[in-house]
């Protein structure tokens, strides 16, 4: 989808009134779910993200996630100007972050900033409302126990959906559920931490002067090791990131061994979005937990 200038002008009008006029628009990104458009205007550049998702609140939830991160994190978080629907699609209009080369302290800044965000807490694991990870609904019913939250809000809904969509058979569905008792005492204790929730390299930008910028959150209050585990799923971040994080908020021993278990959740997300190529990694972790 690449909409006409008339549509872009209408979005600008809804956002700012008649004072901001469109000069030109250019498609800059087209992913599996969203497309990104750079709007050059009389008031400078803006970033417009759109999609065809039937879930009309998907960008409302994204805006909420950006807001709570901005309130609790020293890192740069884009400002949201407006979100809503045009006929046939959803949109969110945000501050334009011009990409730049990373500075020399990029990874250290990212680690320190994430550690500070993880210090934001609340009484229970979960969030005030359900939201999304990519286009997958993410339920956030509060639980006092992290293992109970992880099982009931993260693993069980997605493994059930995978079975319903014939991505796994009944035998593996039942085998997967056998890990739940194992997980009850598997994780170290910790207060609920404000998480980005989808922390991989594609959701971090390098902004002006090379500073790290967090985008595309799937926020909730969870175990802080979740973000750090996710950061290792597609190849780890630079070691300076982990070292800086631990100077502020040291991890409990055995974190690396726990990484594959936390990453069952994003692997299930990818299984649902992209198919069975992600199943072997899930099967490997399940088998190891049950061995």
Distance in Å from the first CA to the final CA of the chain: 48
Is 198 an active-site residue? yes
Going by C-alpha positions, the residue among 30, 43, 39 that lies closest to residue 5 is: 39
In 124-279, DSSP assigns E strands to 131-133, 136-138, 193-195, 204-206, 212-214, 220-222
State which H helix or E strand residue 289 sits in.
Answer: helix 279-290
Q: How far apart are CA 117 and CA 194, in angstroms?
A: 6
Q: Give the integer Cα–Cα distance in Å for 67 and 147.
A: 27
Helix (H) or strand (E) holding 81: strand 80-86
| Annotated catalytic residue, options 43, 100, 198, 227 | 198
Instruction: Measure the CA–CA gap between 77 and 214, rounded to whole angstroms.
Output: 6
List the 89-95 sheet strands across, edge first.
22-30, 34-41, 44-51, 89-95, 80-86
Query: How many Å apart are CA 194 and CA 126, to the nearest integer?
Result: 9
Query: What Rg do the C-alpha atoms of the chain give, in angstroms?
Result: 20
Annotated catalytic residues are 198
């Amino acid at each position: 989808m690449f909409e006409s200038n008339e549509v872009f002008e209408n979005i600008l009008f809804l956002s700012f009134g008649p004072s901001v006029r469109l000069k030109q628009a250019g498609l800059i990104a087209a992913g599996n779910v969203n497309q990104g458009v750079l709007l050059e205007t009389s008031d400078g550049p803006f970033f417009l993200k759109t999609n065809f998702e039937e879930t009309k609140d998907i960008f409302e939830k994204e805006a909420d996630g950006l807001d709570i991160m901005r309130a609790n994190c020293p890192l740069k978080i884009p400002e949201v100007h407006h979100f809503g629907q045009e006929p046939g699609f959803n949109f969110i209009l945000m501050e334009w972050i011009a990409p730049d080369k990373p500075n020399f302290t990029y990874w250290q800044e990212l680690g320190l900033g994430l550690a500070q965000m993880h210090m934001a807490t609340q009484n229970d694991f979960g969030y005030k409302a359900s939201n999304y990870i990519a286009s997958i609904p993410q339920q956030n019913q509060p639980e006092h126990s992290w293992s109970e939250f992880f099982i009931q809000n993260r693993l069980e809904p997605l493994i059930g959906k995978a079975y319903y969509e014939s991505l796994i058979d009944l035998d593996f569905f039942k085998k997967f559920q056998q890990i739940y008792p194992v997980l009850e005492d598997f994780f170290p204790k910790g207060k609920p931490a404000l998480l980005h929730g989808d922390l991989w390299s594609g959701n971090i930008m390098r902004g002006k002067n090379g500073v790290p910028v967090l985008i595309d959150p799937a926020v909730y209050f969870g175990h802080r090791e979740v973000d750090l585990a996710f950061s290792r799923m597609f190849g780890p971040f630079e070691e300076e990131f982990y070292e800086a994080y631990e100077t502020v908020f040291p991890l409990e021993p055995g974190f690396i061994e726990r990484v594959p278990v936390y990453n069952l959740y994003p692997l299930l997300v990818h299984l649902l979005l992209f198919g069975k190529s992600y199943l072997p990694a899930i099967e490997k972790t399940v088998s190891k937990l049950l061995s």
